[in-house]
Amino acid sequence: MYAIVDIAGQQFKVEKDQTLFVHRLPQAEGDKVKFDNVLLIDNNGSVKVGAPTVSGASVSAKVLNHLKGDKVIVFKKKRRKGYQKSNGHRQFLSKIVIEGINA
């Protein structure tokens, strides 16, 4: 059984006991989260597609911890002009584990 769910503006294909890294959630570490934007549910071959969401369906998860992603280096250069600019960025992430899919 799997579901496609919208979490923090991104769509994920999730199954029970799966761990994900999503954009930082406002809940504290150890809190339970419920996502209601379920777009599709597949229960062993019987597929429910929402228009736009499946009514009454939800995905429950638990926030394991908050962390920062790997550093991304942004380097800009224009040749023969002497222009160079370097910038870095680390995305704030939350690690969650899917506890159940309620159809």
The mean of the pLDDT values for the chain is 95
- The predicted model scores a pTM of 0.82
Tens of pLDDT, residues 48-67: 998 899 999 999 999 999 99
> Where along the chain do its domains lie?
2-102
Report helix, strand and coil shares of the chain as percent, to nearest 5: 0, 70, 30
